[in-house]
Structure 1
Amino acid sequence: MSDSFFKDIPEFLETRVNESLDARSKSLSQFKELGPPDHVHTTKVNTRNPSKEVGTYHFVSGIDASSSASLAAYLNTLSYSLDKSQQWFSKSQSWSISHSVYCCYNAFSRMDVRVEAKVPGGVETYVIDENGQKHKMDARMWLETYMSSVLRSLLYSDELYSRFTGHRKFNPIPNPDIEIRFFEAFEELFPVGYILGSSPEIRVPTNVNNHLVRGFFAYVRQNCRFSAALNSLEKLHINSPEVSVLLAELYLLMDHEVHAVRVLHEALQKQRMSADLLVLQAKYLVSKERFDLALTSAKRAVHASPSEFIPWICLAEVYLHLEDFDSALLALNSCPMYTYYERDVYPIPPPTKAHLPLPVNFPKEELEGENGGGRAGSMEAVDPYLARLPSPSLRGTFAKVYELLTLICSKIGWDDLLRVRSSVFVMEEEYRSLNENGKVDPETREDETSNIQQNGNESTLDKPEAIMSGSAQNLNVHSKRLCERWLDNLFMVLYEDLRVFTIWRAEYTHFRSQGLVYRKSPMEWEILGEVAFRLHHRVEAVEAFCACLDNMFSFKAWKTMLIICAEDNNIELVLTAIAKLTLSNYRWYQEYSPFLLEHIKIRIMQDGALKMKSILASTRLDPYILNLIHKLYFEWAIAFQIPGHEL
């Protein structure tokens, strides 16, 4: 008799049975927001020796968590995936599932819901709190658990590198019939949505700024479910006036600008100091290029909520459109910055063995570079200086400010950016002069930022602290402000990116002039492409990503190429990128990607599904990919009646 393991499901073998479950239980008190993905544990016994058992586990998202029956149904499907044709644990032994557990975190009640299925036996359902105590389930708990599960799928499915390997991802709302439960749950849980927390840019979650509302709008945008969403918000608006901002935002998504403006106007008559309403008004005015009016709204939003990040970053964006770069930098310097919390994870002891099977008939050659390099190129040496660039590690509010800083730099250049910086902030020499005269308290000045060790060729860029323009010397130093230490750090981060880009282009030009080939490893091309894209040099970014993709498959490169090609309205390359990313996701058990669905939806609405199918049919893509795209996207478009699905 042969051993068995799941033929099409990822699986990890525990050193000790239940050790992954124990690790999850011990970490419940550490989860801060929506919680980790669902955890599925199976206990397998030897059919000849029932006393011998092993434990395995995997992760999953998008399973219907509205009842014990739906979770037990998933556990039941595992037995059909046992593959008795291959060997795993040892020869001449077969295994069967004796016990399985499905764990789903309830982010509202901060408890872990668990459904246990025993063979023989029945199904037991309970919840575990952070102290390890068991409690009974009720209807309210199931509603919260269902919504927690859906929100994790809607908001976290596109994370580039999941902290959990072997993570299956499914569409949590695959058809309109199932969405009814989603909207009903949203309406019922709306008053307590703030419990879930919010995006990293929000300091204090509110009824209209939290993960529940974020997930609601993510779903509505993705599936164009405007009528149902409008019905839900109008019902909530009766008892919650603050919902006005959500109604106005929805009307703007629907291109019903007259309704949106009317709602904004009426709401601001009653809530004159609502930062949410004022920010939305400012963004709408920016979209109409009325930057002068947007400035008034943005300033009022800052006055209404000075301790929140979003009003300040909105003000900085308006100043950027007005090309008032001095004020833009001052607004950025005033932004309240928040600590970024990583996604909820928990440490699990290393597995004895990992089983990560390929899907049946999977065309793995499609995930290789144009020259057949596969992922092998990624193992080539990478310049340590490139590998240690600090900008990719920026998160939350720091990433958003850095994005605006790069936009300013792309508009006026590095030298002018430093001149603007020296005109509004006290520079190091000026600070020393004031300090020597006893006019500045040393404790009020943040420590100066030290440089990232330099490696390789020197560029012609001046370091941020080195610029002292003549005009700045003549200004009244007392009218300047002290630059926050974190903003000083971001200037240095920008300097490092610019330095890499400048050296790369100088070397490339030199090699071209000498008739030589400029060589980099695929991973180095990927990094250079990311640097160019961050600095808004799209042509150079495409050049680097193409060089990378010639020799290896890169999810990052294809994803960024998709964004660039979508902006250029290059439908052929957009569809090629979608096909490559879809296949890569499917290889790693991901059938649901909000990012890809959003791009597919836009193309269907602009070009029609028939034209897209014709273009795909004319490519050299494997039929396996074409069938996959039809199953995951075109059938979805038909189910949700996405405009253009019939054209």
Structure 2
Amino acid sequence: MSFSPVGSKESFQPSTKIQRFPSLREVHYGITLSSRMAMLERRSRENVGLGPPTLFHLGKHCNGNSHEFIKNPFVVGEYRHQIRKEDDGFVGYYHYVNGLNVSEGYAAIDRYILLVMGIRSGSGGSSYYFTKESSETFANCHNELVVSVNMFNVFHQTDLHAKYVFSFGNTPSYKSPVTIEKSFHIGSFSVEGGVYSKVLMSTMSEISVQSYWNELYASEILRLVLHLDNPSLQVSGLVSLPDCLEDSERMIEAVHCLVSFLPRGSSTGSIASKGASTGNDDASTLRYQNNLIQALTRICASDVSGNGSSYTIDQIRKHYPVGDWDYVILKLLKVQLGSNNEQSFIKLIHDHLKLDSISTQLALIMLEQINFLISRKHFETALLLAKRCVQLLPLSFDAWHTLALCYILLENYEKALTVMNACPVLLSSRNQKTDLNVTADTKDFFNWIFLERLNTETEAISETTFNSYFPPIQSSQSVDLASMKSLWKDLFIFNSHRRHPISGNVFYQSPLTNCTPKELSSISPSLINVCGPGNSKNLLSSQSCGSASTSILTFTRDSTWGRCYSLLSIIVAKIGWDRLLQVKERAFKQDPVTPINSTTFAAGHGQQDYIVNHKYLDTKDICGSWFEELITILYDDYNVLYKLTYQHTNHSAIEWEMLGLVGWNCKYNLKESILSLFTSVKASHLNQGDFDYFGTVQLLEIYYEFVLSEVLYSNIDSYHDDYSETFLDNKLILRNAKKDGVLEDFVEIITKQCLTLDFILTLIMQLVSWNVRWYQLSPNYLVVKLLNHLCLMHDVLTIKSQFRILFEQNKQVKKKVYKTRYTISSYFLNGGTSSTSSTAENDHTTTNKQLVIHEQDTILMYLESLLDRIEKNIEGV
């Protein structure tokens, strides 16, 4: 299928445009090489939700045949001969971007296009000129340059298409003026008889209506936040701009915009971990649990001053009738930093009860009240409310999940298993083969071809081509931004298989998808079976949340199936496996033929629709097939961990990592799981030019759960992150242990043995640099909440000073010189230094850059800028 956004005489195939546009280096943006048509095809079949990121496309005419100018070696299979196709000389280049602030309308698109193209305004702003550098970049271009920008409107499910035609003399010159012709239109695509038809929705004058630009602005905010914080939704090279959230003023603007769209939030898509929405229209849980409210919660949670939450609550109360959005206000009170909101929280619940006798919102508010009671250890009262919630929302996964949790905390495990078996876990059967290369409704051609070439080529992508696709990002002073040479250069020099971001459905699902065959050979086959690509956990959790895959880092919070896995592992952690089986025998009928469960529907297992049975507590039910499978999968995890932990003590770094990740998810010896992850991450530090992404993220999440989440101003809910949907269940287990002080003792041990403040700051330094390397100019939620809570726990000056000390120490760390034989393998393994033997030679010292901090690294300056912003917000309280 052809697509011709530049208006060329002969349309070209998007797949032939697999080449980096050199002039984009001017603003240092990466590129995702994919076609808008891939998104359009998916849009016709299923709900798009947030839609794809904004597409920037350049077409330049080279006064000849395009194959003469396409020198890209990064092609595979059928595309080798496609790039030889004769056409009229237009060559196209793509990149994707989120967070473009279009609240001002056309002006924002103008600024962005001129910035990317390297075109400056003349005196008075009425004329335009190339810069000297950009004129050299376009030196081989003739006739015209055509730029297209496609922005998806979530609320109308339409595209705004902006087209800019740049005309000049024979060749671009920084002395000759450039003429710009602009056109805009709104288009949607529908399927009629299997044919895509383009429908013009508005004229250019109608696009000027501010309401449409507000919709586009809200759409950009949603995609920026939710794509940024979920790597599985990030297309390769996606640029996340800071425009919408770079300071408190911009955050207030974003909040104001999102609040105005609260009644239309259901059109932004549902939250997969909540399960299927119940009810319809105003009575639906989707009205209160959708992507717009999640994004609003995230922005307020990121504001360390707490002013964002206060402003948002004021705006909701100002513009909407009393009680309409009390559930949202409760969530905002929970995430607000700097204030003790317990009394406000309780009063709001009490006031809502006086207004509302029975409704969907009342049931959701009661669920929040239950979480409050659990934090206060009032489990009996929480149980009574949880039973009521199930009656009000019999098809709500959250209601059943909360009821099961209450029974677990009251140690009534037989009832807990019965309720879990009744949870509405949806497992959708897929009739069509899932395309793992479709990310955020967009075909990720880079990942697709990279994987294809890994199977056929020694080097999937050369270092030169990689640097052309993903050039380092720089500041306006042409200095690398947040750079660490070890992560930005060394890592990709010595590990060609790592020349891709860890994102999308493929590379984010497991560390094993980022390994070499040699690394995989060091891992036990039994361990690969339980956590490798295509394992049962990944399959079932992805079916549960309706995605192509899930990640080992997040499947326990991304899907209803994964949340049940987490609940079941809590029971095993509290009573052991043998007793779990005894409880299961008492809880369920023993019948070789499993009939349809009256309260569970799983399409993947061919079960029928719900038949709600509120008398489930008084009857013995049959254990559902999905629940039996869940128990079996959890047993396999424990079995593998037990055998590898006690029968084998020597493991490779990647095997330690997988043991830690699997062990942490199923709560198998928490201390050993943390030490396994710590061993893996430390090994990557010792191996210069390496970075353990999965181990780093998991350890930072663990540190937040046990240390930073205790930095509370109120005790409304100690065990949930209301934005990321993270359930701090391991903390819950230890805090509610029969012996007092278990949690405190555990925290003291891990923070002294491995998760020291210096080590955590080192991990943050690496993760921030890694994220910026992949064009996350706006820091993601994990980074923001870690820095916010660290500053609240210690103070900004202390954290700044500690970062500076770490930076300087790791440039000057010294060690003894060891006598050794030089080998080629040791040279590469040690980043250009010889390996060491076991005997030291005299007392001579030399610089040892184990943490791989270099003099030219700029990560410290970037971190200080983030901390300055936090300090400014704190001072404004």
Q: What's the TM-score bracket when you normalise by the shorter of the two chains?
A: 0.7 to 0.9
Of 518, 537, 553, the match for 2:691: 553
Q: How far did 1:96 drift?
A: 10
Deviating more after overlay: 245-254 vs 213-222: 245-254
Instruction: Establish whether residue 603 from structure 1 lines up as the match of residue 790 from structure 2.
Output: yes
Deviation at 1:359, TM superposition (A): 3.4
Counterpart in 1 of 2:113? Answer: 75
| Greater mean deviation of Cα atoms: 145-154 or 381-390 | 381-390
Deviation at 1:308, TM superposition (A): 0.9
Q: Which residue of 1 aligns with 2:30?
A: 10
Q: How many Å apart are 1:54 and its aligned residue?
A: 0.9
Given candidates 109, 125, 128, the residue that maps to 2:156 is 109
Please list, as runs of the form range in 1=range in 2, the aligned pairs for 1:476-487 lying within 5 A after superposition.
479-487=619-627
After alignment, is 149-158 or 213-222 more displaced? 149-158
* Alpha-carbon separation, structure 2, partners of 1:95 and 1:607: 59
**Per the alignment, do residues 531 and 49 of structure 1 end up closer, same or farther by CA in structure 2, a change over 3 Å counting?**
closer
Output one character per residue of 1:318-375: Cα deviation in whole Å (capped at 9) or x when no partner. Answer: 11211211111112111112357996413366699761223355433147999x9867
- Partner Cα separation in structure 2 for residue 444 and residue 231 of structure 1: 45
Of the candidates 27, 32, 36, which is equivalent to residue 52 of structure 2? 36
User: Which letter does structure 2 place at the counterpart of 1:135?
Assistant: M
Residue deviations 1:262-316, cap 9 Å, x none?
A: 1101212332432112111111111111111111111111111111111111111
Distance, in Å, in 2 between the alignment partners of 1:257 and 1:349 is 50
CA contact (8 A) 1:68 1:125 kept: no
1:143-542 mapped onto 2 (5 Å cutoff)? 143-162=214-233, 164-171=235-242, 172-200=244-272, 201-204=274-277, 205-223=285-303, 224=306, 225-237=308-320, 239=321, 241-254=323-336, 255-273=340-358, 274-338=362-426, 344-347=440-443, 355-359=469-473, 361=480, 362-366=483-487, 378-379=515-516, 380-382=518-520, 383=523, 384-389=525-530, 390-393=536-539, 394=541, 395-426=558-589, 430-432=590-592, 479-508=619-648, 511=649, 518-520=650-652, 522-536=653-667, 537-542=669-674
How far does residue 107 in structure 1 lie from its aligned partner after superposition? 1.1
Asked whether the 8 Å contact 2:275–2:559 carries over to 1, the reply is no
CA deviation after TM superposition for structure 1 residue 77, in Å: 1.2
Q: Is the 8 A contact 2:235 2:440 kept in 1?
A: no
Aligned mates of 2:381, 2:50 — CA distance in 1: 38
**Contact 2:656 / 2:676 at 8 angstroms: preserved in 1?**
yes
State how far apart, in whole Å, the 1-side matches of 2:526 and 2:238 are.
32
The C-alpha deviation readout for 1:182-202, integer Å capped at 9, x for no partner, is 233223211221222221114
Mapped to 2, the partners of 1:284 and 1:525 lie a distance apart of 37
Distance 2:600 2:156 in 1: 41
Match in the other structure for 1:625 = 859
- Looking at structure 2, the residues matched to 4 and 381 of structure 1 have their Cα atoms a distance apart, in angstroms, of 35
Aligned to 2:213: 142
Aligned partners of 1:269 and 1:545: how far apart in 2? 50
Kept in 1, the 8 Å contact 2:144–2:166? The answer is: yes
Residues 115-138 of structure 1 show CA distances to partners (whole Å, capped at 9, x for unaligned) of 222203332222211232122223
Instruction: State the alpha-carbon separation in 1 of the partners of residues 562 and 645 from structure 2.
Output: 25
Equivalent pair of 1:99/1:119 in contact (CA under 8 Å): yes
In the alignment, structure 2 segments of 5+ residues that lack a partner are: 1-20, 67-87, 120-129, 168-179, 191-197, 278-284, 431-437, 450-464, 475-479, 499-513, 531-535, 542-557, 603-617, 685-689, 709-755, 811-852
Residue range with higher mean Cα deviation, 249-258 or 271-280: 249-258
How far, CA to CA, are the matches of 1:141 and 1:117 in structure 2?
A: 20
* 1:80-119 per-position Cα deviation (integer Å, ceiling 9, x unaligned): 3999999x999x9468981112222111111122222220
Give 1:613 deviation, angstroms: 0.8
8 Å CA contact retained: 1:295, 1:318: yes
Determine the C-alpha separation between the residues in 2 that align with 1:574 and 1:494. Answer: 30
1:569-584 alignment to 2 at 5 Å? 570-584=756-770
The CA distance in 2 between the partners of 1:446 and 1:605, in whole Å, is 45
Distance 1:228 1:327, change over 3 A: same
**Contact residue 367 and residue 580 of structure 1 kept, 8 A:** no
Judged with a 3 Å threshold, the aligned counterparts in structure 2 of structure 1 residues 373 and 603 are, in CA distance, closer, same or farther, namely farther
CA distance in 2, matches of 1:197, 1:12: 24
Aligned to 1:461: none
CA distance in 2, matches of 1:565, 1:97: 54
Give the superposition deviation at 1:583: 0.9
Task: Measure the CA separation in 2 of the matches of 1:309 and 1:445.
Answer: 11
- Please say if residues 538 and 564 of structure 1, whose CA atoms lie closer than 8 Å, have aligned partners that are also in contact: no
Q: Secondary structure at the match of 2:94?
A: strand
CA offset at residue 603 of structure 1? 1.0
Tell me if structure 2 keeps the 8 A contact 1:562–1:573: no
SS for the counterpart of 1:166 is coil
The letter of the residue matching 1:497 is D
In structure 1, the partner of 2:85 is none
Which residue pairs with 1:637 in the alignment?
Answer: 870
2:32, 2:236 within 8 Å by CA — same for their partners in 1?
A: no
Q: Percent of aligned pairs with the same residue? A: 21
Give matches, 1:85-96, under 5 Å: 93=140
Q: 2:235–2:439: 8 Å Cα contact kept in structure 1?
A: no
Match of 1:118 in 2: 165
Q: 1:495 to 1:72 in 2, by over 3 A?
A: farther
Residue 242 of structure 1 aligns to a residue whose secondary structure is coil
The Cα of 1:142 is off from its aligned counterpart by: 1.4
C-alpha change, 1:141 and 1:33, in structure 2 (3 Å) is same
Checking the alignment, whether the CA contact within 8 Å between 1:28 and 1:112 is kept in structure 2 is no
Contact 1:572/1:615 (CA < 8 Å) preserved in 2?
yes
CA shift for structure 1 position 488: 1.5
Q: Aligned with 1:285: secondary structure? A: helix
- Pairing 1:614–2:801 present: yes
**In terms of mean alpha carbon deviation, does 348-357 or 30-39 score higher?**
348-357
| TM-score, normalisation: structure 1 | 0.82
Q: Name the CA distance, whole Å, in 1 between partners of 2:411 and 2:225.
A: 36
| Paired AA for residue 868 in structure 2 | E
Deviates more, 1:398-407 or 1:356-365: 356-365
CA contact (8 A) 2:426 2:601 kept: no
Report the CA distance between 1:209 and its aligned residue: 2.1
| TM-score, with length taken from structure 2 | 0.61
How far 1:446 sits from its partner (Å)?
A: 11
Judge conservation of contact 1:202–1:209 (CA < 8 Å) in 2.
Answer: no
Within the candidate set 39, 45, 51, 2:61 is matched to 45
**Unaligned ranges ≥5, structure 1:** 14-18, 449-477, 512-517
Instruction: Please give the alpha-carbon distance, in whole angstroms, between the structure 2 residues aligned to 1:642 and 1:97.
Output: 50
**C-alpha offsets along residues 115-164 of structure 1, whole Å, 9 cap, x if unaligned?**
22220333222221123212222322211111111112222212234451
Tell me: CA distance 1:167–1:111, structure 2 relative to 1, closer, same or farther (3 Å). same
Aligned to 1:468: none
RMSD: 3.5
Give aligned pairs, total: 585
> Contact between 1:37 and 1:104, CA under 8 Å: does it hold in 2?
yes
Residue deviations 1:154-186 (CA, integer Å, cap 9, x gap): 222122344511111123321222234323322
